[in-house]
Copies of this chain bind each other. A is one copy, B any other.
Amino acid sequence: MIKVTTIPGDGIGKEVMEAGIAVLDALDLNFDFIKSEAGDGYFQENGNTIPEETLKNAKNSQATLFGAITSTPGERSPIITLRKELDAFANLRPIKSFEGINSLYNDLDFLVVRENTEGLYSQVESYGDKEETIAISERIITKKASERIARFAFDKAISDERNKVTCVHKANVLKKTDGLFKRTFYDVAKSYPKIKSEDLYIDAVAMYLIKEPRSFDIIVTTNLFGDILSDEAAGLVGGLGLAPSGNIGDNNGLFEPVHGSAPDIAGKNISNPIAMILSSAMMLDFLDENYYANQITTAVENVLKARKIATPDLGGTAKTMDLANAVIEEINKQ
């Protein structure tokens, strides 16, 4: 019995979570899903965006699945709270082309590893005056977190048989914070002599992702730069409907599609569940259930390649569960 906390959240988060769970249920594994609350809908009724119980469930499960939430103005995002509380310090975002998907590049396969606990997400903010005409956000970078994320990236290079890790920063302007991040990266690199290491500026990488994305293997970067680059890179291979992610800590894993709650299409059951389904596969990999993770990934690949069933974002007219059911059918064939 694998104990998994599920947090559907708001909007299409609910739809894709239903689809993701249906796919997991189709595997020859037993899950105990603990459905938990968070998000703006919960806030409207209860005055906070994430209850203690959800945090407790997430901490006491083997892994957590997260759908998507709508931001509540003035409140801290529950996904940020979860990442911090679970100390899920590494945000892993694979960028992979799929056959059958119209995209700019059809042969991409790299990883964005995003530091997930500090930087511009430190949430140390203040006003410089009473009139609130000067605001300050602190970008805090520590050696500890920089070392941990660099190690994660290099370890991932070894386990995935990848050759190069690229540190992305803006140390020509952020001399102290990104100076520390970059210095620590190269210190860690010394312990991995077989893996190539290099560093590039964030602005240059934003451009290289478009012009020569094949040159990347693993990108490791600070929190907000990872947020930006992973969305950009997802745009290269078919968009957010296909982009999964994992928030990984020493004892915990939280898996979520990169997309948001999409209020504009929520409730119509036309959201693309693939990002959520692939996030579940990442969860199974994290739980060392690689056989079943591969079952899902292969099924998704086959469904996309066949081009028979597609949600509107992929140019079709299928419903969320149609696409999920196609994946389940493929799994049952295996």
Binding site for B on A (CB under 8 A): 71, 74, 77, 80, 104, 120-121, 123, 125-128, 132-144, 170, 172-180, 202-204, 206-211, 224, 227-232, 234-236, 239-240
Contacts and interface: CB of A to CB of B under 8 A. Distances in A.
Given A132-B180, A133-B143, A170 B210 contact: no
Q: Which of A126, A138, A180, A206 has the most CB of B within 10 A?
A: A206
B126 A135 contact: no
9 contacts: A126-B176, A128-B140, A132-B143, A133-B144, A135-B179, A136-B139, A137-B177, A206-B206, A206-B235
Contacts of A239: 207, 211
Given A207-B231, A210-B104, A228-B203, A173 B120 contact: yes
A177 B136 contact: yes
Contacts of A175: 74, 125
A80 B170 CA distance: 14
A206 B228 contact: yes
B125 A176 contact: yes
A139 B126 contact: no
A324 B236 CA distance: 34
A170 B104 CA distance: 26
B228 A210 contact: no
Contacts of A174: 120, 125, 137
Contacts of A236: 210
